[in-house]
Chain A
Amino acid sequence: MTVLLVWFKELLDTLRDRRTLAAMVIGPVLVMPVFVLLPQTLLQRQAEAQEQSTIRAVFVGAENGPQLFATLLASGEIERVEADEPRRLLQEDGADVGLVIPPGFEASLAQGRTAVVQMLVDQSDMFSVQAERFRTLLSGYNQAVVTQRLEALGIDPQQLVPFTIEDVNIATPQQMGGSFLGMMLPMFIVLWALVGGMYTAIDVTAGEKERLTLEPLLTTPVQRRTLVLGKLLAVVTTSLVALILAVASMLIAFAVAPPVSGNTGLGIDLPTAALLMAAALPVVVLFSALEMAVCLLARSFKEAQNYIVPMQFAVLIPAMAVMVLPDLSPSLPSFAIPVFSTLVILRDLFLGQVEPASFGLMVGSSLVYAALAVGLAIWQFGREKVLFRT
């Protein structure tokens, strides 16, 4: 019961602090939808804009292939850009694509031989669809020449096409955005588990030392273990609220602005949400206890903030690994690696492909780590050097 008393007081205290509210409520509710919606909206806008706009093309040696040049311009999709140094213009985003037509091109065509043209593309511009559109136009002209040649030989061009392949394009930029999000979500969940309770963790440890309220608290008959557990419960509560709000605001963002082109990979139903929570809870307890153990070493709120930042990096690194390796399928024993295993399980939950054994091992091992971290926090609260460090 005393644990609940300490828990209630710490929650009351922390909820009166604007910093806690910012980390626990405003952050998850406002930041998450921005992360969800912004890249998607931007990608979509950009793609639409590119589809509609003309292809800005630089031509070198246009006089070598007047027919090709005329055909391309006749498509109406090309805007010709003049430049002395086409490569630089491309890099500075003054043009989308460059075409170099060598001398003798026209003659080569007339003789029925194969000529080479160079297409200059800035491959580092990942989101550009203009180069592909230009290539299609070039291929169209190529095809037209082939047809002419065959007809000159009296062959039906259809003879050369036993069958055609119909491309069903599903890799739109919007969908790329969708899978991008699928990789991001586990990281955000773990991140909010870490950040949501951060200010409360500092407040109930280093904050208590800074305000000199720790000594009066320790002179009550309550056991130190009970004090630590009550405080831990308060930190876990704020972390969980932040996490739930983050996931909820994400779901609402998806409902309000669903990913286009029928991407249903991220639909989260109630049982999945419950599993997500069950997967996240041990890691929330682990982080909360670790944050408390670390922050108790600090003498002040500011010092504690300095200690907590490296901890966040330590978590972000495995998170990044899971994010950038979407096909990562670790062996069973590696589900005993803290944090990493949680990230993988969270990702698999989103993709709907969780192995019960992996899930069990992750939850079980995480609970052990969490218990160790709680033990560490309690031990720290018993150290005179830590409590009265001046």
Chain B
Amino acid sequence: MIEVQGLAKHFGAVRAVDGLTFRAEQGEVLGLLGPNGAGKTTTLRMLSTVLLPSAGTAQVGGHDVRSQATAVRADLGVLPEYWGLYGRLTPREHLRYFGRLHGLQGAALEARIQTLIADLEMDEYADRRCEPFSKGMKQKVALGRALIHNPQHLLLDEPTAGLDVMSARNVRDLIERFRAEGRCVILSTHILSEAERLCDRLTIVDHGRVVASGTPADLLRQTGQATLEDAFVQLVGELEEVAG
């Protein structure tokens, strides 16, 4: 379970995140929706403990992001907005390095690597250097890296951005699977159709604050709109900023 209470992050005078409250259960996909610059990535970074909150609390699996950061990271898989791979290492080397950083080793680690390579269909290029890979291939390596320690919590920042139709579909299938496996998933996106299909609940964020939350059906009812896009536009109120 991921629980966020009054979370805030200030960069000087800029209030990137300004008192967010939401929670996501195991076996649930929570969609974090909002225009660019709404504070989604900053929120995820506080949850992954790489940024320290200015105020409020956040817990991942019952561990506090401030005082128990190591325990939080041990059971958390993060897919950053940009995959960030070492161009001179192969997918298998990536998985091995991060597996070891998570304390895995030996036959158990190698078996886990093999499972992920098979699951993500990376057999063909598992031992080639990542530099020339397509976006879809890189995204798979990054996903494998996030999953290597079999975390019960996942933070996915724009997981289908820039992917072709087939790759995006594969990623969506995976997210469905994470839910079925009982993991707690927070998905940051601005692709509304994807959010509607994948997410159990949505939290709409603008200017670092929650403007609405609930199931997609709740949001339609609240706004009296027929489509999620119309509901989103009404809630955020700035048509020109809606991307995707």
Q: Name A residues whose Cβ lies closer than 8 Å to a Cβ of B.
A: 2, 5-6, 9, 12-13, 16-17, 211-223, 384, 387-388
Task: From the candidates B73, B85, B86, name the one contacting A219 in the complex (CB within 8 A).
Answer: B73
Chain A residues whose C-beta falls within 8 Å of the C-beta of B103 in the assembled complex: 221
Task: From the candidates B52, B87, B100, B142, name the one contacting A216 in the complex (CB within 8 A).
Answer: B142
A contact patch SS: helix
A214 to B71, CA, bound (A): 19
11 pairs, A vs B, C-beta closer than 8 Å: A13-B88, A13-B89, A211-B87, A212-B80, A212-B84, A213-B84, A215-B48, A215-B84, A218-B48, A221-B71, A387-B50
Least distance between A206 CB and chain B CB atoms (Å): 14
- Is B97 touching A219 in the complex (CB atoms < 8 A)? no
- Is B88 touching A216 in the complex (CB atoms < 8 A)? no
Asked whether any CB of chain A lies closer than 8 Å to the CB of B201, the reply is no
- Is A388 touching B78 in the complex (CB atoms < 8 A)? no
- Is A221 touching B85 in the complex (CB atoms < 8 A)? no
Chain A residues whose C-beta falls within 8 Å of the C-beta of B140 in the assembled complex: none
6 smallest A-B Cβ distances: which pairs?
A: A212-B84, A220-B101, A16-B88, A213-B84, A221-B74, A219-B78
Least distance between A319 CB and chain B CB atoms (Å): 33
A17-B88, A211-B86, A216-B84 are known contacts. Are A223 and B78 too (CB-CB below 8 A)? no
Least distance between B86 CB and chain A CB atoms (Å): 6
Asked whether any CB of chain A lies closer than 8 Å to the CB of B225, the reply is no
- Is A223 touching B70 in the complex (CB atoms < 8 A)? yes
Asked whether any CB of chain A lies closer than 8 Å to the CB of B190, the reply is no
Least distance between B81 CB and chain A CB atoms (Å): 9
**Considering only CB atoms, which chain A residue lies closest to B82 in the complex?**
A212
Q: Other CB < 8 Å A-B pairs besides A384-B51, A384-B52, 9 of them?
A: A13-B86, A13-B89, A212-B84, A216-B98, A219-B50, A220-B73, A220-B101, A221-B73, A221-B74
Task: From the candidates B73, B85, B98, B146, name the one contacting A211 in the complex (CB within 8 A).
Answer: B85
- Is A5 touching B100 in the complex (CB atoms < 8 A)? yes
Q: B52, B76, B88, B102: which has the most chain A beta carbons within 10 Å?
A: B88
Q: Name B residues whose Cβ lies closer than 8 Å to a Cβ of A.
A: 45, 48-52, 70-71, 73-74, 76, 78, 80, 82-89, 93, 97-98, 100-103, 129, 142, 145-146
Chain A residues whose C-beta falls within 8 Å of the C-beta of B45 in the assembled complex: 215, 388
Task: From the candidates A16, A17, A219, A223, name the one contacting B76 in the complex (CB within 8 A).
Answer: A219
Chain B residues whose C-beta falls within 8 Å of the C-beta of A211 in the assembled complex: 84-87
A367 to B93, CA, bound (A): 35
- Is B98 touching A220 in the complex (CB atoms < 8 A)? yes
Chain B residues whose C-beta falls within 8 Å of the C-beta of A6 in the assembled complex: 101
Least distance between B113 CB and chain A CB atoms (Å): 15
Task: From the candidates B50, B84, B93, B102, name the one contacting A221 in the complex (CB within 8 A).
Answer: B102
Chain B residues whose C-beta falls within 8 Å of the C-beta of A221 in the assembled complex: 70-71, 73-74, 101-103
- Is B80 touching A222 in the complex (CB atoms < 8 A)? no
- Is A212 touching B50 in the complex (CB atoms < 8 A)? no
A217 to B48, CA, bound (A): 11
A384 to B53, CA, bound (A): 11
Chain B residues whose C-beta falls within 8 Å of the C-beta of A219 in the assembled complex: 48-50, 73, 76, 78
A16-B88, A211-B86 are known contacts. Are A216 and B80 too (CB-CB below 8 A)? yes
- Is B97 touching A216 in the complex (CB atoms < 8 A)? no
- Is A2 touching B89 in the complex (CB atoms < 8 A)? no
Least distance between B73 CB and chain A CB atoms (Å): 5
Chain B residues whose C-beta falls within 8 Å of the C-beta of A388 in the assembled complex: 45, 50-51
Task: From the candidates A12, A13, A218, name the one contacting B50 in the complex (CB within 8 A).
Answer: A218
- Is A216 touching B78 in the complex (CB atoms < 8 A)? yes
A216 to B48, CA, bound (A): 9
Chain A residues whose C-beta falls within 8 Å of the C-beta of B89 in the assembled complex: 9, 12-13
Chain B residues whose C-beta falls within 8 Å of the C-beta of A217 in the assembled complex: 101
Chain A residues whose C-beta falls within 8 Å of the C-beta of B49 in the assembled complex: 218-219
**Considering only CB atoms, which chain B residue lies closest to A14 in the complex?**
B88
Least distance between A353 CB and chain B CB atoms (Å): 46
Least distance between B92 CB and chain A CB atoms (Å): 13
Least distance between A228 CB and chain B CB atoms (Å): 14
- Is B86 touching A215 in the complex (CB atoms < 8 A)? no
Least distance between B93 CB and chain A CB atoms (Å): 8
Task: From the candidates B73, B86, B102, B129, name the one contacting A213 in the complex (CB within 8 A).
Answer: B86
A6 to B97, CA, bound (A): 8
A13 to B87, CA, bound (A): 9
Least distance between B107 CB and chain A CB atoms (Å): 17
Chain A residues whose C-beta falls within 8 Å of the C-beta of B86 in the assembled complex: 13, 211, 213
**Considering only CB atoms, which chain B residue lies closest to A214 in the complex?**
B84
A159 to B45, CA, bound (A): 100
**Considering only CB atoms, which chain B residue lies closest to A387 in the complex?**
B50
**Considering only CB atoms, which chain A residue lies closest to B71 in the complex?**
A221
Task: From the candidates B71, B82, B83, B102, name the one contacting A220 in the complex (CB within 8 A).
Answer: B102
- Is A2 touching B84 in the complex (CB atoms < 8 A)? no
Q: B70, B86, B89, B102: which has the most chain A beta carbons within 10 Å?
A: B86
Chain B residues whose C-beta falls within 8 Å of the C-beta of A218 in the assembled complex: 48-50
Task: From the candidates B73, B97, B102, B142, name the one contacting A9 in the complex (CB within 8 A).
Answer: B97
Q: B51, B73, B84, B88: which has the most chain A beta carbons within 10 Å?
A: B84
A154 to B48, CA, bound (A): 109
- Is A222 touching B78 in the complex (CB atoms < 8 A)? no
Chain A residues whose C-beta falls within 8 Å of the C-beta of B129 in the assembled complex: 16
Chain A residues whose C-beta falls within 8 Å of the C-beta of B84 in the assembled complex: 211-216
**Considering only CB atoms, which chain B residue lies closest to A5 in the complex?**
B100
